Amino acid sequence: MGPNLIGQRFGRLVVVARVASRHRKAHWSLACDCGGTNVAATGTLRSGLVKSCGCLNQELRIRRNTKHGHATRGRTHPLYWRWLAMVKRCTSPRDPFWESYGGRGITVCERWRDFAAFLSDVGEPPTPQHSLDRIDNNRGYEPDNVRWATPLEQRHNRREVSA
């Protein structure tokens, strides 16, 4: 007959009943803390191979696929690449746009060197067509000097380039 595991806890699972044996191994009906259910053999439970109904793996997968505080489903947040381009053109002399940004003193405030802080401050653009615009083109990227602007607003806010 084997051991009685009813009431015992294994990870997030509690054994609620014994079910028909398969391949001469006792199997148990399990209730998960999340409300889900599972069935597992005695050895699988005792070895720690099964710890939940599957919810734990899902949580761990989400945590692994989270970058900068946002679930990414294998990709980075859509604004991440815009943010990275902004930081690079202001900080890297190897960036093709360096001369027009970092080379003339345009900086990214210290707080915005962290993507999560940047996203928290500027939020999502109203539409995919909006881009980040510096209100005063002679100042850097900082909370009181940026806005989400349409392409037309961007064109009207260009600096005069002397020849």
Domain-wise residue ranges, the chain: 9-64, 76-156
58-109 pLDDT tens trace: 777 766 666 555 555 434 677 888 899 999 999 999 999 999 999 999 999 9
Sign of the alpha-carbon dihedral angle for 29, 33, 37, 43: negative
- Beta carbons of 42 and 2 less than 8 angstroms apart: yes
Record the tokens describing residue 149, joined without a space: 């602007």
Which DSSP state fits 142?
Answer: -
105-154 pLDDT tens trace: 999 999 999 988 999 999 989 988 899 999 999 999 999 999 999 999 98
Beta-bridge partners for 134: 146
- Whether the model clears a pTM of 0.85, i.e. scores above it, the answer is no
Residue 35 has pLDDT above 80, yes or no: yes
**By C-alpha distance, which of 17, 66, 34 is closest to 8?**
17
Query: At residue 49, what are phi and psi to the nearest 5 degrees?
Result: -70, -30
3-state class of 79 per DSSP?
coil
Cα 162 to Cα 14: distance, rounded to the nearest angstrom: 74
